[in-house]
Amino acid sequence: MNETTLGQRDDPIHEVRLRDRPCVTAYHDAIMNNKHLFENKVVLNVGSGTGVLSMFVAKVGAKLVYAVDSCTRTCDLAAELIKCNHLQNKIQIINKRIEDIDKFDENIDIIISEWMGFYLFHESILESVIYARDKFLSLPSPNNDITPDQNESINIFPSHAYLYCAPFVDQNIRIELNTMWKDYFNLNMSPILSHIKNSRLDQCMIETIEPSQLVHDAQLIQSIDLRTIRVNDLYTLRSFCEFHIKNTCIISGFCFWFDCYFSSNNNSSILRSTRLTTSPYSFRTHWKQTLAFLPEDIYPLKGDTVPVYIKLKQSTTNRRQYQLSVVLKRIKEGICVDNDSSDSITRRRQRRRSSTISSDKRTYSQNKSNDTSSDSNTDDDDGNHNGSNEHPIPCLCDRDRCKLIKTIIESHSEENMIE
């Protein structure tokens, strides 16, 4: 699964991030809730952009803020904004890469940065934050581990980050790619697919999905303590997940998102601190979610276990970019307990090759337009699922979408039946 080049950090006015209310609110609240950490302190803002975080810190009483950013146009705009807010005496803008700065006139007490990228690592400036921490905060030599006491003396906002993964079902993306160009106003336009970016879905997609599309709870796959992580830890990150399927479902791929926490040294619990989340269950952020599609949908049954290996590998040519690889291992078949019997029996397996729910484009498109809110609303009095938001797969009710899914499953059952 190759990375996509998204390039939002090239936006000189950072409009996308300035419009990201959940993100800006999290930083604002974290700073306001920890005024005591910033009062009369010297703060380093790595990747300061338009200076919003620097201004937040200056307004809660910081002695001095070094706002470091490598983009000249962004620094010029930041200077104008800072002057407009009468904070030019507290904020010093430095138009350089943090790696090109030898020293500051004042010792740094705290580092703050909005460093996160897509699926946390891709297009992030995490290495720059680590460099600033090791260079400008008082730390042991790189060959030594940071002791708990030394760890408590390091202030970095955010302090911790967590990356999550959950399987999801695609409700339209693959369907559109598989059907739209093959029947485009009665024209076969399939040759155009090779010219459409990511038409095979072999690259990550940055999209917002609905919580109802998640077919399993998320699992934590990476955790970062900004006070202790080393650059060497970022070259390759590996994880293994096992998703134990509670209900028969369709899995189109795996969804990734992250949380960040702003924990001060005297917090008794990280989870009690301010949190910035990019979860599908929360307000949309500019990071959205990252979707890694499988080559074909899979159909695990209730009781199955879906094992997944995940690897994040740093690019050798651009250290801010990562390749995300998702390897699905053989599904472990479960054992079903019949509700009408106390005995456990091995189920008759129906392994279906993925066709996604797209064999009849017109039927699906018409049904979808008439059924837009069906996942969040209950069925009518004639349905079999009144009061339920989710339907089992396969489902025997009369809803058009359920009948379509049932038809597709049955069409492959004889060919792919396994005992």
At 182-222, the pLDDT tens digits run 778 988 888 888 888 888 898 999 999 999 999 999 999 99
Question: Which CATH number is associated with domain 160-331?
Answer: 2.70.160.11
Do 12-114 and 160-331 show the same overall fold?
no
| Annotated catalytic residue 242 | no
pLDDT digit string, tens, across residues 275-323: 999 999 999 999 999 999 999 999 999 999 999 999 999 999 999 999 9
Place of tokens 């919003």: 52
E strands in 169-264: 205-207, 219-225, 236-244, 251-262
- Nearest partner of 25 among 261, 262, 276, 272, judged by Cα: 276
CATH of 12-114, one of 3.90.1300.10, 1.10.760.10, 1.10.10.60, 3.40.50.150: 3.40.50.150
Residues 253 and 292: beta-carbon distance below 8 Å: yes
Write out the two tokens for 325.
């690889």
Please give the angle made by the CA atoms of 240, 220 and 147, to the nearest 5 degrees: 100
What pLDDT, on a 0 to 100 scale, did the predictor assign at position 372? 36
349, with CB counted inside 10 A (0-12, 13-18, 19+), is middle
What gap in Å lies between CA 50 and CA 79, rounded to an integer? Answer: 8
Would you tell me how many other CB atoms lie within 10 Å of the CB of residue 386?
A: 11
Residues 1 and 324: beta-carbon distance below 8 Å: yes
What gap in Å lies between CA 391 and CA 402, rounded to an integer? Answer: 8
Q: Give me the residue spans of the domains in the chain.
A: 12-114, 160-331
Q: Pick the catalytic residue from 123, 152, 176, 390.
A: 123
Would you tell me how many other CB atoms lie within 10 Å of the CB of residue 182?
A: 14
Write out the two tokens for 299.
């159909």
Q: Pick the catalytic residue from 15, 114, 127, 414.
A: 114
* Distances 14 to 8, 130, 332, 353 between C-alpha atoms, Å: 8, 23, 46, 44
pLDDT digit string, tens, across residues 237-260: 999 999 999 999 999 999 999 999
Distance linking the first and last C-alpha atoms of the chain: 33
pLDDT band at 80 (very low <50, low <70, confident <90, very high): very high
Residues 287 and 118: beta-carbon distance below 8 Å: yes
| Annotated catalytic residue 114 | yes
- Nearest partner of 362 among 180, 99, 201, judged by Cα: 180
Q: Determine the residue type at 297.
A: D
- Out of 54-58, 133-137, 263-267, least confident range: 263-267
Q: Please name every residue paired with 163 in a beta bridge, in sequence order, or none if there are none.
A: 222, 258
